Amino acid sequence: MKNKHFPQIISPDGHSISLPAVSDNAVKIVQELKCAGYEAHLVGGCVRDLLLDRTPKDFDIATDAQPEEIKSIFRGCRLIGRRFRLAHVRKNGEVIEVATYRAAPSPTDDVDEDRTHIADHGQVLRDNVYGTQQDDVLRRDFTINALYFDPQEQSVRDFVGGIADLEKRVIRTIGDPLERLRQDPVRMLRAVRFAAKLEFNIDPAMLTATSELAALLLHVPPARMLDEVIKLFHGGYALRTYDMLREYGLFRYIFPFTEQCLDGITPNLSSLALANTDNRIQLGKPVIPAFLFACLLWDPLQADVHKLQDGGMDSRRAWSVAASDAVRDQAQHVAIPRRFVIVIKDIWALQPLLEQRSPKSIHRILGHKRFRAAYDLMLLRTEVNEIKSEIAQWWTRIQDADQQERESMIRGLRETTPKRGRRRKRKSRAA
């Protein structure tokens, strides 16, 4: 794929980017690279967001300077990455990513003896090939992410019709969608993420390619899928993303066991959890991936618990086995770090205790470091009628109660809890 066209150059009076909206540190880095004799432009999502009058999350720079050359210019520079070397330049406390222009690898560069099973599916395995700005454009995923902004001239360079697609509000691949999605199936997820975030439509040709190639997501390394899942669901538009993933047949390749449990009833616990995540982000409250996993895997966990109990396993053992199996099976598709697993299992283990409300356990449960997360899951379960609302109301009330009221509430539990018959002690036999 070769770009034979010169870029369309949009002058300052032809676009809406306001220079004060651009990071001063990013502008200074571009200036220093140019002073050293190199090309440099702001590129990608930051240019897209500036043109849409959105505040960019971060600012990226593309240049023809190679990583070691970038490092020699900036004192606060650190080189990262193995697949493709990048420079992180720290200036006034802000970290700006500076990437060297990339080119399409030659056929021999696509071969990796350690990962030939991935190469068989058409994915590009090596990416550390440098090129020109025109080469770099063709390595990017979507037209709206392939715009270059020169903060000195305040002009925008558009090689692939990105400005037109911004105006049409459409996500379109650069080049043939079948080829580009085969090269990197994660682009299907990125398209959904951008469409949900920006409220854009996805190009029909890309949707057709997605329906044909969706199963290639099964060949993406689980560790990379974890990064993508966090981006998908922790951006503030998780519910919209989830609905689109299901509509386009992609969710089943990310959370296959959850998909099997969805019966078409809405809202379900997964959708409620994602809506809750969006609300927390909008309110500036913290969100943790482990809680989201605990919610998304709750239905498969429940199904396994019931199956094990029907097979004669006692409840406590069934919960333990099902929890381990649910995490292990999901990790084949999306990696779940051990630090997440500990939190997930704690949240699950507290659910039966919250339902039972044993008077002896109340103080211990309230003091548990995962109580709040477990309580939030319990509230979601109440909304889908898994738990009686009076139980959730009781736990809500006791959190705000003073010591005297708490003790009164616990005494009330003792009075309403059926008493078990006391076991008679056996007399020890004389030797």
Residues serving a catalytic function are 58, 60, 141
Tokens of 107: 């056929």
CB atoms within 10 A of CB 75: 9
- Whole-number Å distance between alpha carbons of 53 and 44: 15
Q: How many CA atoms lie within 13 A of 320 on its CB side?
A: 5
- Whole-number Å distance between alpha carbons of 391 and 395: 6
- Whole-number Å distance between alpha carbons of 257 and 300: 6
User: Tokens 């490092």 — which residue?
Assistant: 71
Which residues, other chains included, contact 413 with Cβ-Cβ below 8 Å and sequence gap of 6+?
A: 357, 358, 359, 362
Task: Classify residue 89 by its DSSP letter.
Answer: E
What DSSP element (H or E) covers 97? strand 94-100
List the one residue out of 160, 173, 108 whose CA is nearest residue 133. Answer: 160
Tokens of 294: 């605990």
| Angle (CA) 43 48 51, round 5° | 120
- Whole-number Å distance between alpha carbons of 97 and 77: 10
User: Is 325 in a helix, a strand, or coil?
Assistant: helix
